[in-house]
Amino acid sequence: MAAPRVGPGSVIDGYQIDSQIHKGGMATIWAIKTGPDETPLIMKVPRLAEGEDPAAIVGFEMEQMILPRLTGPHVPRFVASGDFRTLPYIVMEWIQGKSLHTRLPDLPLPPEEVADIGARVAVALDALHRQQVVHLDVKPSNVMVRPTGEMALIDFGLSHHLQLPDLLDEEFRLPYGTAPYMAPEQVLGERSEPRSDLFALGSLMYFFVTGTRPFGDPQSLKGLKKRLWRDPEPPRDLRPECPPWLQEIILRCLEVNPENRHPTAAQLALDLRTPAQVPLTARAERKGQDGFITAFKRRMEVDSILTVKKGPAAGDAPIIMVAVDFTTTGEPAANAMRAMIRQLMGAMPRARLACVNVLKLRRIGLDTTLDDEGEHKHLQRLIELRHWARPLELPEGAVTFHVLEATSPADAILDYARSNHIDHIVMGARERSTMRSLLGSVSGEVAAEAPCTVSVVRARAEED
């Protein structure tokens, strides 16, 4: 049976083709006619003509398997797919927005904007990794910006679902990806490492802040392997406006060994959103590339430098949030909360702790920034949070501190948990009172609405 012709006006399984909107190396994208109140749709059809790259077919099979399993705003919504025996295709949501590729003429971008873009892409990657998928082709043209500002990842032809067969790995020996963004382990054929996507995002941020790709655009396997032993020029050498904290984050993403990058995309996003609390190492002030002798030694020892291990799942490197209320939590309850945190952090050494306090604002009237003693309220709360966490004796970089200002403490805690992909919230139980009985407790509201596990801790001496 001959495959149906695809072109403007043709109807494929009830979908009427409107126009061609893109023709890439592996597939052609067509707009589908939809009603004014319907979700805009596109049809992706692989290129199957004589002489086309056979990886295009295998990659399309992978995308047909992966996309239906993905949900959320950070991916296009899957609608339907066609059979290879007649016509292979994927019908999906047409994301209304522009890709990051449209920003290339504006490069280099302000460092603060690069950090904001990086944080939003990291959130999208975290959502993808939690669904057991490594993208493996993160680049500007594969990142769409929705009208809401959320980033959506597209094109899963090179991706790997950790619970599905990897057809590309089974059928081909050469690494697949986009040269400027491929992680060292990906160059060597490793396709199951989520932190490969963090390397690609680091390359993207480097490019956006300097206007230069960190490893150029090599077109040979030998050129790709150079990134295993040759470090990129530090971003601040090319763009002095790049702050040390952003260079620290970017160069950490570009570490050859995945073990030296951020454990998860969620932790990377948190660093990009809290620059003042990023612990600076020698990376932050690095100047110039390493000398020839150092690079040559690294080239000779590359097998020991690059240790490809199974990357940590989000559950092995969670972000734990402790909501500290100085007005209602006494020292016995605080000690109980610290004991809970020690237990959680001890079981998961890669975990990050976010200490949060809500500075409650009045619903009516103006709030002052100073307290009755003339101290700055926000700064004072940060100092108190650091003092509260000191007995935990956590290393620098394992804990951050945040003061939120809101009229509703419960809403502020929930918003923070959602926007930062918090995995576990620890709170102290408020003492029993008439007002609590009538109005309910903050911990009760949070526990009822939280997107994650909530532990409400009460000191042993208190009654339930």
d(CA 337, CA 333): 6
* Assigned domain for 4 exists: no
Domain shared by 106 and 86, yes or no: no
Other Cβ atoms closer than 10 A to 413: 28
Residues 6 or more apart in contact with residue 395 via CB below 8 angstroms:
none
Domain shared by 326 and 296, yes or no: no
Domain shared by 451 and 416, yes or no: yes
Element (H, E) at 66: helix 54-66
| Selected residue with higher pLDDT from 421 and 362 | 421
Q: pLDDT tier at 365 (50, 70, 90 boundaries)? A: very low
Q: How confident is the model at residue 441, as a pLDDT?
A: 79
pLDDT tens string 224-254: 999 999 999 999 999 999 999 999 999 999 9
Cis preceding-peptide flag for 108 (omega within 30 of 0): yes
Q: pLDDT tier at 362 (50, 70, 90 boundaries)? A: low
**End position of a domain, from candidates 314, 330, 353:** 314
The CA-atom distances, in angstroms, between 304 and each of 141, 193, 254, 301 are 34, 18, 17, 6
Cβ pair 127, 74 in contact under 8 A: yes
* Assigned domain for 398 exists: yes
Domain shared by 234 and 362, yes or no: no
For residue 311, pLDDT over 60 is answered with no
Domain shared by 61 and 202, yes or no: no
pLDDT tens string 111-127: 999 999 999 999 999 99
Phi/psi at 91 (5° precision): -100, 130
Domain shared by 36 and 144, yes or no: no
DSSP string, 76-99: PPEEEEE-TTT--EEEEE---SEE
Domain shared by 191 and 268, yes or no: yes
Q: How confident is the model at residue 299, as a pLDDT?
A: 82
- What CATH number has the domain bearing residue 213? 1.10.510.10
**End position of a domain, from candidates 314, 329, 354:** 314
- What CATH number has the domain bearing residue 16? 3.30.200.20
Nearest residue to 268 via CA among 44, 420, 445: 420
Q: pLDDT tier at 86 (50, 70, 90 boundaries)? A: confident
Domain shared by 279 and 392, yes or no: no
Other Cβ atoms closer than 10 A to 99: 18
- What CATH number has the domain bearing residue 373? 3.40.50.620
Domain shared by 254 and 368, yes or no: no
Residues 6 or more apart in contact with residue 14 via CB below 8 angstroms:
none
Domain shared by 299 and 331, yes or no: no
Q: How confident is the model at residue 141, as a pLDDT?
A: 96
- Per the structure, the count of domains in the chain is 3
Q: For residue 133, what are the domain limits?
A: 99-314
Average pLDDT, the chain: 88
* Assigned domain for 6 exists: no
* Assigned domain for 120 exists: yes
Domain shared by 197 and 183, yes or no: yes
pLDDT tens string 250-291: 999 999 999 999 999 999 999 999 999 999 999 999 999 888
Domain shared by 156 and 139, yes or no: yes
**End position of a domain, from candidates 314, 336, 369:** 314
pLDDT tens string 129-179: 999 999 999 999 999 999 999 999 999 999 999 999 888 887 776 788 999
